[in-house]
C-alpha cells in the first residue's frame, strides 16, 4: 500500500492541535483543529479539509493529494483562508518514502525571488501529522505550521 492509499484508509474525522509559527509575533500560536480525510474519484485522490483558528478567528483549508504510480509522482493543490487568500498553490513531489507524503510548491514574494513551501503528511493507524515548511530563497527552512491529530 502506498502512502496515498494509507492516507485514504484513514478516511474520516480527526481532531487535534494546530500550531502556527506566527510571523507577526515570532511566537507559536496553538488552536484546536479538525481534519476530515476523504477519498475522491474512486481513491485516485484524497482530500483533507481542515479547520483551525488564528487569534480566535476561524480559519479553514483544503489539500487535494494524488499519486500517479506510472511516473511515481505525487501532486497536491492547497488552499487556505489565512495563508493563500484566493490563490491555490500547486505542488509536486516524488514517490512517498517512509510513509510520509511530501509535496513542494513556490510562491511569489513581494520583493525578490520566489519562496518555497513544503507540505508533509504522515498518516499512521492512530495519528495524522501535517507539517508546513517555509523555504527561503537561500535554501534555509523554517517550520510554519504543524498539525497533530488523532481519531475523533
For residue range 90-128, what is the model confidence (pLDDT) as tens digits?
A: 999 987 777 899 999 999 887 889 999 999 999 988 999
Q: Are strands 57-68 and 73-80 parallel, antiparallel or unpaired?
A: antiparallel
In a domain, 67, yes or no: yes
Q: Which helix H or strand E contains 133, and what residues bound it?
A: strand 127-135
Instruction: Identify whether 81 is part of a domain.
Output: yes
- Whether residue 150 lies inside any domain: the answer is no
Instruction: Show the domain range for 18.
Output: 3-22+29-145
For residue 151, is it within any domain? Answer: no
- pTM passes above 0.85: yes
- How many domains would you assign to the chain? 1
Question: Has residue 103 been placed in a domain?
Answer: yes
- Specify which residues 1 forms β-bridges with: none
Burial 77-104 (b: 16+ CB within 10 A, else e): bbbbbebeeeeebebebeebeeeebbbb
Q: Establish if 152 belongs to a structural domain.
A: no
Amino acid at each position: 500500500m502506498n502512502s496515498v492509499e494509507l492516507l485514504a484508509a484513514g478516511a474520516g474525522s480527526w481532531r487535534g492541535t494546530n500550531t502556527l509559527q506566527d510571523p507577526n509575533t515570532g511566537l507559536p500560536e496553538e488552536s484546536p483543529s479538525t481534519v476530515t480525510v476523504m477519498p475522491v474519484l474512486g481513491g485516485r485522490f484524497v482530500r483533507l479539509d481542515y479547520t483551525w483558528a488564528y487569534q480566535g478567528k476561524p480559519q479553514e483549508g483544503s489539500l487535494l493529494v494524488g499519486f500517479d504510480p506510472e511516473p511515481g509522482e505525487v501532486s497536491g493543490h492547497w488552499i487556505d483562508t489565512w495563508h493563500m487568500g484566493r490563490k491555490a498553490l500547486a505542488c509536486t513531489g516524488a514517490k512517498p518514502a517512509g510513509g510520509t507524503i511530501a509535496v513542494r510548491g513556490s510562491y511569489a514574494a513581494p520583493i525578490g525571488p520566489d519562496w518555497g513551501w513544503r507540505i508533509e503528511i504522515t498518516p499512521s493507524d492512530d495519528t495524522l501529522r501535517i507539517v508546513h515548511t517555509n523555504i527561503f530563497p537561500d535554501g534555509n527552512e523554517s517550520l510554519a505550521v504543524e498539525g497533530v491529530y488523532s481519531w475523533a
